[in-house]
Amino acid sequence: MSPGDVATVESCTDVHYVDTGMYDTPGYGAVYVLDAERPAVLDTGIGTHHERVLDALDRVGIARADLDAIVCSHVHLDHAGGAGHLAEACPNADVYVHEIGAPHLVDPSDLVAGTKRAVGDQWRYYVDPEPVPEGRVVELADGDEIDLGDRTLTAHHAPGHAPHQVVLEDDRDGFVHAADAAGIWVPELGDVRETSPPPNFDLDDCLDDVATIRDLDPDVLLYPHFGPVSEGVDAVLDDYATTLTEWVDRVREKRAELDDDEAVESYFAERTDLDAVWPAHKAAEEVAMNVRGALVALDRGNA
């Protein structure tokens, strides 16, 4: 896919996704469009190219006034940065988010400051988020349901990646929108990669989140990064648990060897193979961010 392309999730009913071109990188950021009785979008992207999500609604045949639900899996800006922009363009849509993250959609100032610290040079790809009116925010807790008429989404709290993260279980097609709880799916490699951003990454909680998804027995994983996975779902989840554990071990060992966190960050960023599928700038910046998160978790004793 290329930025702006819209595809159908073949193993699901009336589920589509658009490549938002996040970070000027194709095949990295996906927003899902559910053409349900009460139409919904799952996640919003960083907001920089929110018009691609609106164009996807047009292509699927959903009028902007008919969009009923904007569901943010968590409030990291690569998932919720476009919420205010979409809410403004789709005036009848409620915005659903975990209760811990809700205040950050109403007043995103602290979130912006934290994101700038976490993503470093990648901030140049962002746009400042628009606040979401408080009266349009619907807070989610573990087990809450979102009724879309002909399908229901159940939110399951998955705090390892971020304390405000939920995964969404569908009762119609058996998909789970995995947020960042099942890693980064790289379709060109057919492989799942770690995501461990600062400041909240917690290895044990992340492994618990993988178990939460496994217990839901999904038929399909919908990855915001990137695309649907409908074959070998159990194996992908197992691989992610292994990948994440081995990743933290590698960072721990390299820190002990180099005794310099900046050198550890550079070591991994300069040796990634993701530059074979993503632009070199994105590949290196992604890895460096994940190193920083793992190091913070090690300092806290959460890895």
List pLDDT tens digits, range 7-51. Answer: 999 999 999 999 999 999 999 999 999 999 999 999 999 999 999
CA–CA separation, 225 and 21 (whole Å)? 11
- Residue 211, C-beta contacts closer than 8 angstroms, at least 6 positions apart: none
- For the segment 69-96, the average pLDDT, to the nearest whole number, is 97
- Residue 231, C-beta contacts closer than 8 angstroms, at least 6 positions apart: none
What angle in degrees, to the nearest 10, is found between the helix axes of 280-300 and 109-119?
100
List pLDDT tens digits, range 206-258. Answer: 999 999 999 999 999 999 999 999 999 999 999 999 999 999 999 999 999 99
Per DSSP, 129 falls in state: P
Task: State the pLDDT at residue 119.
Answer: 82
pLDDT bracket for residue 117 (50, 70, 90): confident
- For the segment 76-85, the average pLDDT, to the nearest whole number, is 95
Task: State the pLDDT at residue 302.
Answer: 77
Task: State the pLDDT at residue 301.
Answer: 87
pLDDT at 264 over 90: yes
pLDDT bracket for residue 114 (50, 70, 90): confident
CA–CA separation, 55 and 77 (whole Å)? 20
Q: At 137, which helix (H) or strand (E)?
A: strand 137-140
Give φ, ψ of 137 to 5 degrees.
Answer: -90, 130
Residue 91, amino acid? P
- Count Cα atoms within 13 angstroms, Cβ side, for 288: 18
Task: State the pLDDT at residue 100.
Answer: 97
List pLDDT tens digits, range 173-196. Answer: 999 999 999 999 999 999 999 999
What are the tokens at 69?
């639900």
Query: 256, 220 in Cβ contact below 8 A?
Result: no
List pLDDT tens digits, range 159-175. Answer: 999 999 999 999 999 99
| Predicted structure pTM score | 0.95
CA–CA separation, 61 and 169 (whole Å)? 24
pLDDT at 109 over 90: yes
Query: 64, 36 in Cβ contact below 8 A?
Result: no
- DSSP H helices in 33-165: 50-60, 77-80, 83-89, 102-106, 109-119
- Count Cα atoms within 13 angstroms, Cβ side, for 104: 24
Pick from 264, 241, 138: nearest CA to 182: 241
* Residue 290, helix vs strand vs coil: helix
pLDDT at 120 over 90: no
Count of other CB atoms within 10 angstroms of residue 58:
11
pLDDT, the chain, mean: 95
